[in-house]
Amino acid sequence: MKVYRAHQGNFILKEGNVRLSDRIKIREEYFGGIVFNTETGDITEVDHEAYQLLIWLRGIGAADIRSLSRHKGERAIIPVLLRGNIIEYIPKTSNTSGKQYMRLDRPPRDYLKPYYYKLQTLSAPETVHLAVTYKCSGACPDCYTRRYISSTGYELNTEDLQMIINKLADNGVFQLAIGGGEPFLRLD
């Protein structure tokens, strides 16, 4: 659905609202933030202004797209976020006409302070590779896992692995690559 059309270097928006997509997870970083699409696995880096807009949308739910686009910084980033499926357009219909969406008198960053300062700013890797076993039935000459079998002497049990995976998720790691040796040689 076309939400906007180009007009003399600007864009004209249809009536409706925008919100952060349900499939999007965001994490603050020193340069702004990271946007992770849980459906596709795509990762996008955004600057501070775009990240603040996304945090604000997450906090309020949805905003009137026309009042949002009256602000210069937001007007520039809205088409990019829409094309990237980071934010979603909610058309104005009879079902949503009675529902109130936030209309803006000031730019979102002015409204943001109550949401922004409650955030954790712990940075974490985007992807972690977790070797769940060193067992392997292969004999690949360049395999690194055999080097570590004697130095560790044991493998983590299922409960410890689950605890590690939960901590990674709690700290903002977006993707977990499970490997080893051969993970399917584990009995669990």
Q: How far apart are CA 45 and CA 28, in angstroms?
A: 10
The residue-averaged pLDDT of 129-141 equals: 81
- pTM value is 0.59
Q: Do 67 and 157 reside in the same domain of the chain? A: no
77 found inside a domain: yes
- Domain membership of residue 20 as a residue range: 4-116
Q: Return the SS3 of 128.
A: strand
The residue-averaged pLDDT of 132-151 equals: 74
39-76 pLDDT per residue, tens: 988 889 898 888 888 988 888 888 888 777 777 777 78
Q: Do 133 and 95 reside in the same domain of the chain? A: no
* C-alpha separations of 132 from 78, 82, 176, 181 in Å: 42, 39, 12, 8
121 found inside a domain: no
Q: How far apart are CA 88 and CA 16, in angstroms?
A: 10
Domain endpoint, select from 57, 84, 116: 116
Domain endpoint, select from 116, 147, 168: 116
Q: Do 110 and 133 reside in the same domain of the chain? A: no
Domain endpoint, select from 116, 136, 164: 116
Q: How many domains does the chain have?
A: 2
148 found inside a domain: yes
Q: Which residues contact 152 (CB under 8 A, 6 or more apart)?
A: 134
18 found inside a domain: yes
Q: How far apart are CA 39 and CA 25, in angstroms?
A: 10
